[in-house]
Homo-oligomer: A and B are copies of this chain.
Amino acid sequence: MNAEQLFARIEAKRSFLCVGLDTDMNKIPRHLWAGDDPVFAFNRAIVDATAPYAVCYKPNLAFYEDNGEKGWVSFRRTVEYIRERYPDIFIIADAKRGDIGNTSKMYARAFFSGNLVDAVTLSPYMGYDTVEPFLQFDGKWAVILALTSNPSAADFEMQRLEEGGFLYEKVIDTSKEWGTADNIMYVVGATQARMLKGIRELVPDHFLLVPGVGAQGGSLEEVARFGMNRQCGLLVNSSRGIIYADNTERFANAAAEKAAELASQMSELLTKYL
């Protein structure tokens, strides 16, 4: 999928919502625990309920790896289910991988072969070698960490460089040359919405994956105001705010309501800023 196709799907659904599948056994409704794969059962119900409002799903690998090989089965079944039932939905493996050479090639193959997912989040610390193998797959994307929403983003991402600017700006400015706006996007935390303006100057055309919206509220408007470009250029993620909206038997309905609410706000913002 390229940027134009992704934008077409955003336009069709009037939504740029990414639903984060951070599925934690301890947080899913108890009535699902009895099945053979509660995580998959939960994800399937969440996906069926939220698919009308989402253009993207983002399973967070940590939550699957925590269950070892069983977790990988849940992960694989989830993405295969999405592919089969909702083939127009973009899938990001939120894995924050970052290695080099042979190893990086292996990670790229692990996620892209068999068309498992469309994109993988990557940590840029080790530079070009980390990202390059992911750009060798046609229609696939590297989603590079730039400026994250956690407090300790200040430790290194926001270090000022001798040559000027912050490290995260250097990461964006350097890495945008490695690929194109059709195979690289950037992670920018929603709590850093005002910094989106500067980031848009560096990468006017690239998609940005924005986590940190939902519980915080309010910032979606800022994200759209400062971050939207002529192809929307935003995927805004909400995880817990949607998938754990309710932990009774009506969890999927509650998730749908939360997703619909965000999508409706997004539709207005698309009208306002696009």
Contact = CB atoms under 8 A, between A and B. Distances in A.
Interface of A: 22, 24, 60, 62-63, 65-66, 68-73, 76, 94, 96-104, 106-107, 109-110, 123-130, 145, 148, 150-157, 159-163, 167, 170-171, 174
Copies in the complex: 2
Contact of A152 (B94, B127, B171): B127
17 contacts: A24-B102, A24-B106, A66-B107, A66-B110, A71-B110, A96-B97, A96-B123, A100-B150, A126-B148, A126-B152, A128-B152, A156-B167, A156-B171, A159-B167, A160-B162, A161-B161, A161-B162
A98 B100 contact: no
B99 A98 contact: no
B72 A69 contact: yes
A193 to B, nearest CB: 18
A208 B64 CA distance: 30
B167 A155 contact: no
B159 A170 contact: yes
A151 B129 CA distance: 8
Given A76-B69, A129-B151, A154-B127, A99 B96 contact: yes
